[in-house]
Chain A
Amino acid sequence: MSESVNNREPLLDISGLEVHFETRRGIARAVNEVDLTLYKGERFGLVGESGSGKTTMILALLRMIKTPGFIAGGKAVFDDGTDLLALNAEQVRQTRLKRVAMVPQGAMNSLNPVIRIGEQMMLTMREHGEEGERDELMARVVGLLEKVGLKPEAASLYPHELSGGMKQRACIAQAICLNPQLILADEPTSALDVVVQRQIMQTLRQLQIGLDATVLLVGHDMGLMAQFAERVGIMYGGKLVEVGTVSDIFRNPQHPYTQLLISSIPSFETRGDFKGIPGVALSLLDPPSGCLFHPRCPKATDACAQREPTLKEVSPGQWASCLLHEEEHDATAS
């Protein structure tokens, strides 16, 4: 799609990704023709309201969409030519954790309560064909735990003996145990308080840099995104509406939805009323015609209800999907 601002090489090229859910009232397009390239070693943040398809997209990359949902089309091609969406079940299983790992949202309950932390991690490694004596694997586990800031003793504890932040660290240690290229983090800190949140994000960042892995962070905390991510993608109604570097997105948002989103962040410098985005999120079962955002968009014109915009490069490295940035639209408007 775009040249990376940092001249990095592409890792995963997602194109035309479609995830549909079959419901009694028709098909809901939860992820709608998403094109996105993730680069090696970058931290990418995916932002959007609840129901915008962020988590569904992550689950699609892990091939964990459950009926009535299904991946209806698209590709997700790794740099070596492997298409994630074309693998068979066993290949998918082996790809998980080895290439694509997940840091879960609800770390409180993401570890098996009846197995000790170390045993769980060894079990996970063995399932991926990591051979070795118990001592060897245990040494690796302890090394991983230390990397995420846990003491070696944590290996012999049960999950209920850890705090929420420690559990999340254990989950991160497990996620990086096979040096994955892509780490999918689905709001990894939403259940934690801000102090722990900050520590966890720092840990994740150090590890990501150490492994030279790509992190796809999903969330709706704009502050967290600004701190952590290098590039940000904004989703609305299953569509990617804007992609750009953090500074471009925050300083110079191009899509009206992004502009409203950014202006709704409270500021320390200026006092004023909180601003929200008018209207309610769209129904995926009955999406509006044309641009999905036009019923709520303050800048909408008649054309917006008729034509669907596509993602266009507005300035180098910044892409937006809005008719305001398409020449034809400009022509009819003038």
Chain B
Amino acid sequence: MNWNYIVRRVALFLVVVWAAASVNFFVPRLGTGRDPIREKLGQLAASGGLRQDGIEAMVKAYQAKFGLDKPLYVQYLNFLGDTFTLDLGYSLANYPARVGQMIGNAIPWTIGLMVVSVLIGFALGTLIGALSAWPNAPPWVRSLAVPFMTLSAIPPYLLGLIVLYILGLKMQWFPLSGGYSPGMLAIASVDFYLDVLHHSILPALAIVLQAVGFWALGMRGMMVTTSGEDYVTLAEANGLRNRTIFFRYGLRNAMLPQFTALGLSLANVVAGQVIVEVIFAYPGIGTVLFQAIQSSDYTVINGVVLILIMSIGLVTMLMDFLYPLLDPRISHSRQN
């Protein structure tokens, strides 16, 4: 891999972010003509009292503060400048909370829960899928793929409701919602971490149960192909141990396409499991996004989507950089 390639690839990443940010800027403004400031002030006025006068002036004032009174192209340029300095502005619905801060608070929860469950699902699914296609695997392992593939046909939010009902409501083994017990002090203590772990098991279970089948299905197909390859046959004829053939000849080669999918899947965790987070009232990015959509909170929606796009762009870029290490046949140098 050479510097030339790295520079070009990073430039491509920036172009992707720019294009996505632009779409992100214009699409919400094509919408219904709702005005979040006016709506919010209307709500406040309705709940606070009867006086409606002065609202027009307040709307104007807020629009000036948010820069919404300026022509669209000025708004756009400001937006781009802010985007590339990662200044995501204020939340419209939760003013004066800043979008960056809201996302920053939510992201550790999402990453902690989602990334870990996606990785667990990936590892389990890949292994089960590989074993289910391996002629020398014990029959009970090979039959594991079937129930998991059935589970993967159920959407994760439905699985979430099912595990919530059985393990949370009926068995009462796990809490029903939240990221930690109300009243817990969010400080770095063993009790707090155990509490967080206890809260995360059900949502993680919903995601893992659903993901395993997906990964197993893809892996199984690849493994069937790979176990018929000449190099697997020759490895067996050369008297290599079954375990070595399985991992270093079979799995290692069959996994290459899985890595691509894993990269996309990891990038997608932020948005992919919004509904799971909402069901479990988990304080992650999904919940933030859901609430922002409910309250037409443009800036927060923009922020979350931008973070999502950046994470997809970033992960795919990383995958591109990593791929030559995973598969030596892929090279980024121009000579080849």
Residues of A within 8 A of B (CB): 62, 64, 66, 92-98, 101-102, 104-106, 108-116, 123-124, 127-128, 158, 160, 171, 174-175
Contacts and interface: CB of A to CB of B under 8 A. Distances in A.
B328 A96 contact: no
B253 A114 contact: yes
Given A93-B241, A96-B237, A98-B239, A111 B231 contact: yes
Contacts of B248: 112, 115, 123
Interface of B: 135, 229-231, 233-241, 244, 248-249, 252-253, 326-329
A160 B330 CA distance: 10
Dominant secondary structure at the B interface: helix
A114 B239 contact: no
Given A110-B234, A114-B252, A116-B328, 4 more contacts: A64-B237, A101-B237, A123-B244, A123-B248
Given A104-B233, A109-B229, A109-B231, A114 B238 contact: no
Contacts of B236: 64, 96
A101 B327 CA distance: 28
A171 B234 contact: yes
A102 B238 contact: yes
A109 B326 CA distance: 18
A56 to B, nearest CB: 14
8 smallest beta-carbon distances between A and B, as pairs = A96-B239, A109-B230, A102-B237, A158-B328, A110-B230, A110-B234, A97-B239, A106-B230
Given A123-B248, A127-B244, A102 B328 contact: no
Contacts of A104: 230, 233-234, 237
A127 B241 contact: yes
A273 to B, nearest CB: 38
A62 B237 contact: yes
Contacts of A105: 230
B237 A66 contact: no
Contact of B329 (A96, A98, A158): A158
A130 to B, nearest CB: 12
B253 A128 contact: no
Nearest to A58: B237
Contact of A112 (B135, B231, B326): B231
Nearest to A158: B328
A124 B249 contact: no
Task: Tell me which of B233, B235, B249, B327 has the highest count of chain A C-beta atoms within 10 A of its own C-beta.
Answer: B233
A100 B115 CA distance: 48
Nearest to B328: A158
Greatest chain A CB density within 10 A among B231, B239, B249 is at B239
Nearest to B236: A64
A81 B328 CA distance: 45
Nearest to B244: A127
A161 to B, nearest CB: 8
Contact of A174 (B229, B238, B327, B329): B238
A299 B327 CA distance: 59
A127 B239 contact: yes
